Amino acid sequence: MSAPRPGYDLDAWRRRIPLLARCIPMNNCSQTPQTDATRAAAERYLESWNSAGMDWDAWMNEVHLAKAEFAALINATADDIAVFSSVSDATSAVASALDFTAGRATVLVSEAEFPTVAHVWLAQERRGANIRWATVRDGVIDPAEYDTRIDERTAVVSACHAYYQNGLIQDIGRIAARARASGALSFVDAYQSLGAVPVDVRALGVDFLASGNLKFLMGIPGVAFLYVRPELVESLRPAATGWFGRLNPFAFDTKTLDWSPTASRFDSGTPPIMNAYVARAGMEIINTVGPVKIRAWHEHLARRLIDGGRERGLTLHGTDEIARKTAVTAFVVRDSHAVEAAMRARGVLPSARGDVLRLAPHFYNSMDDVDTALDVLADVVGSA
């Protein structure tokens, strides 16, 4: 059987990532490397700032184009998207639009949420929310957890699409449908899936979906996007707001709190302009390569990581079912940060999290990258 190949020109993409000349980035669940395109985008902003002093219209247009690029990734439109500096801010804005004293007080939060998302929901307790948990057991969440825990008191279900610790993919369509059927909303943190797994918000039927850009979207910190289901927008008034949430931010009317008719009512202050430049360029790469092709290659890489880890005596964390996980593959190690440092010294960038060491390849990684990373990991932990 011939070796699997991605459905795009792997070598051409690799040439656009300077870091590959020095090391093997396998920490894409944490921070993806710089590309020629993202660097050029940052320079475009610097050049505009330097030559024009201020070019507000062009900068605002760039933020709009970044929203449009995010929208294209998830089958939405730019009007369905709000921009933030972080997923934490986006989650807080959503929470601030909900009323937990009007009959539905339960927030069902998955234990697989990145802590920041759970923290935002926990902070709603003083606004009347009751937090309940969908339990992680052996690194996975049984989908039936949601079936039994969602009821007529549930206001919102917060379920990440992919678990940051080991790449477990949750059946978001099923969870959103279950929430909708009992009159609850669904909030999805897709930070660990966007760019790695195709996402169609309309097909999934989710109400909110948030992501930042520095992981599989090839971007940088300091910018995040929120999708709000358009049918819902009119009914929501986030208490966390600002002038960019207005009908016309440039009306400068101090005493009128009107609301943009689109998801931009969730925008607040001056958007992260330079970060939006880079974010758009990163998402353009993902949209060009194509999430379907990326996912297909990730499945091969994940299979190699799981089988190769087993052959080398490494202990997998979470499921070994490729269909239920992203390419992020976690191995249980004794001191993950020491293992990460030792691997870095040998030219492989992994990502430590608690008691696991994550190897997270992306579309530009080769099978050789995976094999080398596994060899180095096995050597460092002494299981080879």
CB of 131 to ligand PLP, least distance (A): 17
What is the identity of the amino acid at 159?
A
CB of 119 to ligand PLP, least distance (A): 10
The three-class DSSP label of residue 330 is strand
120 or 305: CB nearest ligand PLP: 120
CB of 363 to ligand PLP, least distance (A): 18
- Chain residues in the site for ligand PLP (CB under 6 A): 86-88, 114, 116, 160, 164, 189, 191-192, 212, 224
- What the block records as the tokens of 194 is 């966007």
190 or 378: CB nearest ligand PLP: 190
49 or 114: CB nearest ligand PLP: 114
Q: How far apart are CA 257 and CA 242, in angstroms?
A: 9
Half-sphere exposure of 120 (CA within 13 A, CB side): 23
Residue with tokens 């051409």: 12
Pairing of strands 351-353, 316-317: unpaired
List, edge to edge, every strand of the sheet that includes 351-353.
316-317, 329-332, 356-359, 351-353
191 or 364: CB nearest ligand PLP: 191
212 or 245: CB nearest ligand PLP: 212
Where does residue 200 rank: exposed (0-12), middle (13-18), buried (19+ CB within 10 A)?
middle
Q: Which of 218, 344, 335, 230 is nearest to 282 (CA)?
A: 218
The three-class DSSP label of residue 213 is coil
87 or 306: CB nearest ligand PLP: 87
Q: How far apart are CA 190 and CA 210, in angstroms?
A: 6
The three-class DSSP label of residue 98 is coil
Q: Where would I find the H helices in the chain?
A: 10-14, 36-52, 56-74, 87-96, 115-122, 144-149, 172-181, 201-204, 230-233, 273-289, 291-311, 336-345, 367-381
104 or 325: CB nearest ligand PLP: 325
Q: How far apart are CA 325 and CA 7, in angstroms?
A: 20
Q: Which of 206, 259, 258, 263 is nearest to 230 (CA)?
A: 263
Q: How far apart are CA 331 and CA 315, in angstroms?
A: 5
Length of the chain: 384
87 or 107: CB nearest ligand PLP: 87
